[in-house]
Structure 1
Amino acid sequence: MRMKSMVLPMMCLIAMLLTVMSRPAQAQDLAAGEASFQICKTCHGQKGEGQLALNAPSLAGQFDWYLERQLKNFKEGIRGADGKDIYGSQMRPMSLTLADDAAVKNVVAYIKTLPSAKVKTTLGGDAAKGKALYVVCATCHGQNGEGMLPLNSPRLNNQHDWYLLRQIKNFKEGIRGKHPKDIFGAQMVPMAMTLADEEAMKHVIAYINSLDK
């Protein structure tokens, strides 16, 4: 009898769980996201293409999960809090204009609708030499710089070379990736150390830029 009395509640619980799991994910509000993006586009451009003059990277074409994580990192002071991270510190107050997780998801959903633009080479560098150096990067970021969700690695092949150079330097100099809560950023620090100097950085970035086709 006791076993039978437990069956019905268990069946009800399973039914409730299946109902919750079968519900479609809540759709993001693109209109709200576009409204929030009005602040973002001041620096990142009308279509999220990025602007060198304002040191703002390209957003269009990047993974939504990566953009969400970086916005949350800025909001929580995990990124952009280091006194030497001049441009990162400019992003922190911008991220705080997004009131909550829903607002973050909305603006990222809108960014996801923007077309990815081909980036221009500005640094020089030898792509042939960079190809050999990129072998280490490919382990996480993919053979074509396409990024990998299972390894929490962002897409690289649609990003401006000047931004990539600055971030590699930031990782190498401990400006980024040192916060105890920046788990994935911390993984990049030893990878940046494999590049001996700025010349090596420019070579590998030149190769990454060659993958943007």
Structure 2
Amino acid sequence: MKKLIAGVVLGVSLTSLAYGAGDPQAGEQKAAVCAGCHGQGGQKPVMGSYPKLSGLGEKYLFNQLQAIKSGKRAVPQMAGILDNMSTQDLQNLAAYMDNQEMIVNQADPALIAQGEALYRGGNLASGVPACAGCHNPQGLGNKPGGFPRLGGQNAEYVMTQLKAYRSGSRATDSNSAIMMDVAAKLTDAEIEAVANYVSGLH
């Protein structure tokens, strides 16, 4: 039993090292350029269509920064911003943003019940799995797996991304295939409800 526990602890430690390679302090120096759109520490974007970056998970953030820099994920508003950053700069920036506190929004009460049912239980009739399976019942995400935190994210941004997955226009990494399959089965009403729900989830 002790060997089993030791093995689990070692495995968790190695996983932590694998996705926790950035230096948050070094990342803070690079984050000034992000504040104009995403707010200080990535906590309060200037528009609801921009994502909060705080606490999303270092691995997820790093993967997205790489995809945006390479052009694999097209984000016109970020054109050229990452060009002069090295891979380590991106890792440090991801670590810094991940260390910032997510500020949770106020969800629309009228849509909470529908959104919660979908987030926690999915839709058996259409084959939509529960969002909580990958993104955590509290919306905290799965950092080692690269699944981002959703709790507190701007509803407008979540809606836009779900529709991008549904159309196939967002296909940036191995997790994209999962999201495209899920989003393909979501109606506009379901997307609106679940996006609203996660915006206030904590």
TM-score w.r.t. structure 1 length? 0.72
Number of residue equivalences: 177
- Deviation by residue 1:60-80 (Cα, 9 ceiling, x = unmatched): 111111111100111122211
- Once superposed, what is the RMSD of the aligned Cα atoms? 2.6
Partner Cα distance (2:139, 2:133) in 1: 10
**Cα distance in 2 for residues equivalent to 1:92 and 1:120:** 31
Rg larger in structure: 1
1:90 to 1:113, Cα distance in 2 relative to 1, 3 A: same
Please identify, of 51-60 and 66-75, the stretch whose mean Cα deviation from structure 2 is larger. Answer: 51-60
Distance 1:54 1:39, change over 3 A: farther
Matched with 1:192 is 183
Identity across the alignment (%):
32
Any unmatched runs of 5+ in structure 2?
A: 1-13, 122-128
Which of 41, 47, 58 is residue 47 of structure 1 equivalent to?
41
Rounded to whole Å, the distance in 2 between the matches of 1:157 and 1:49 is: 13
Ranges of 4+ aligned residues in structure 1 off by more than 4 Å? 24-31
Query: Which residue identity lines up with residue 117 of structure 1 in the other structure?
Result: I
Counterpart pick for 1:168 among 158, 162, 186 = 162
Q: Secondary structure at the match of 1:55?
A: coil
| TM-score normalised per structure 2 | 0.76
Aligned-partner SS, 2:41? coil
Q: Structure 1: which 5+ residue stretches go unaligned?
A: 1-20, 81-87
Query: Structure 2: which amino acid aligns with 1:167?
Result: Q
- What amino acid does structure 1 have at the position aligned with 2:101? P
Residue 77 of structure 1: aligned partner: 71
* C-alpha deviation, 1:53, in angstroms: 2.9
Match for residue 196 of structure 2 among 182, 185, 206? 206
Show CA shifts across 1:103-151 (max 9, x none). 1122223223422212244x67511112222222122212222212454
1:126 aligns with 2:82: no
Cα-to-partner distance string for 1:178-203 (whole Å, 9 max, x where unaligned): x5xx2211220011122122x21111
Q: Deviation per CA, 1:144-166, whole angstroms, max 9, x where unpaired?
A: 22212454311101211111011
